[in-house]
Structure 1
Amino acid sequence: MWLFVAFLLVPLVEIGLFIQIGGVIGLWPTLGIVILTAVIGTYLVRSQGLAAMDNLRGSFSNLEDPSEPLAHGAMILVAGALLLTPGFFTDAVGFALLAPPIRLAIIGYLRKRIKVQRFEMGSQNDPFQQDPRHRRPRDTVIDADFKDVTDTKKPTQNGSGWTKH
């Protein structure tokens, strides 16, 4: 139901804003602002998206909970979609999602409303640690010394014809 209302109200708000702003500043400045916000938004989404990916990689490499960097990345992605959508309301929401304090406030709100049932990382129940068929690639390296024991002498009698000498 909420999604239907959003798909109905957002275009109506955008049309109303286009009419109001276009009536005050004119058609070409209105179109210029829409194009300018898309260009600026694309640049900001790209730079913040790369920073969010670095934070996500860091949380994985430090074996930390990746939910906050993932949430930041998802909100930056939504901000990018909103900024590329022509309109003033969607641009305002998109630029708001690019502000880290706004994202932190949204994450804090969602943390209060969402209860995590279970979260494990690298525990005793890890199938890679218990089942030898699921060994990680680093567990299959064998360090050993060897000596070649193949016979280098030629056989004294001819073979059966089925083997090569």
Structure 2
Amino acid sequence: MTTGSTPPPTAPRRSRARTFIPLAIAAWAVLEIWLLTVVADAAGGFTVLLLLVAGIVLGAAVMKRAGRRAFRNLTETLQQMPGQPGAAAAGQTEPPGSRGNGFLMLGGLLLMIPGVISDVAGLALLVPPVRSSLGRYAERSLERRMRAATPGSLSDAFQQARIHRPDGKVVQGEVIRQDGAQPGSRPDEGPRPPLTP
């Protein structure tokens, strides 16, 4: 046995999200069940059953409406592309209410999930000012993260991703052959042009 050899590889650290998200989901499920029992004690079991069925029906209707709006917006966008028959003039603005389908679908999904907290959150997402403010916040947050993640261009990010090895080590550099032949070329072929990203 030799001393001074490389230490054994350590297991990667578990991220906080992988630790806390399962705990948060379990706590949310317990809280939902407890609130349903409180409502059942106060108003009766039949009332809770009616609330759950109404949430499922309303959530399905909201998701169906949002899906139709999203499909209609996609169809209109594809028809307005240049070169398509019946393309509208350039500079046409989006119709009001054409954005926010994602949050509308999320609201419908939250209404369909049985529980009081999910129903309240789903009903809140049905309010247009709440949806628009959440959409603006999500858009700003995404732009901020994209700027922080890619200080250079998108091709720089792909280049950086390509040079990382699976073990986490970064190998940078280039191969220069002394005999003038291109790397990977055979002696019977002429030099190949370099690959560009």
Give me the TM-score of the superposition, normalised by structure 1. 0.57
Whole-angstrom CA distance in 1 between matches of 2:141 and 2:36: 36
Picking from 86, 111, 115, the partner of 2:139 is 111
1:84 and 2:84 correspond = no
Q: Kindly state the Cα deviation for residue 82 of structure 1 after the two structures are TM-superposed.
A: 1.9
Residue number in structure 2 paired with 1:24: 42
Percent identity, please. Answer: 22
For residues 99-149 of structure 1, the C-alpha deviation after alignment (integer angstroms, 9 at most, x for no partner) is 332221111111222225689xxxxxxxxxxxxxxxxxxxxxxxxxxxxxx
1:72 and 2:100 correspond = yes
Residue number in structure 2 paired with 1:34: 52
The answer for unaligned runs of 5 or more in structure 1 is 120-165
Letter in 2 for 1:90: S
Taking a change above 3 Å as real, the CA distance of residues 52 and 102 of structure 1, as seen in their structure-2 partners, is farther
Taking a change above 3 Å as real, the CA distance of residues 3 and 59 of structure 1, as seen in their structure-2 partners, is farther
Residue number in structure 2 paired with 1:122: none
For residues 11-62 of structure 1, the C-alpha deviation after alignment (integer angstroms, 9 at most, x for no partner) is 1221121121111101111111111121122112212321233233334444
Letter in 1 for 2:135: I
Cα RMSD after superposing both structures:
3.0
Query: SS at 2:103's partner residue?
Result: helix
- Number of aligned pairs? 116
The answer for unaligned runs of 5 or more in structure 2 is 1-16, 82-91, 148-152, 155-197
More relative contact order, 1 or 2 (CA 8 Å, 6+ apart): 1
Residue number in structure 2 paired with 1:43: 61
Indicate conservation of the 8 Å contact 1:82/1:91, yes or no: yes
The structure carrying a bigger helix percent of its residues is 1
Give me the TM-score of the superposition, normalised by structure 2. 0.49
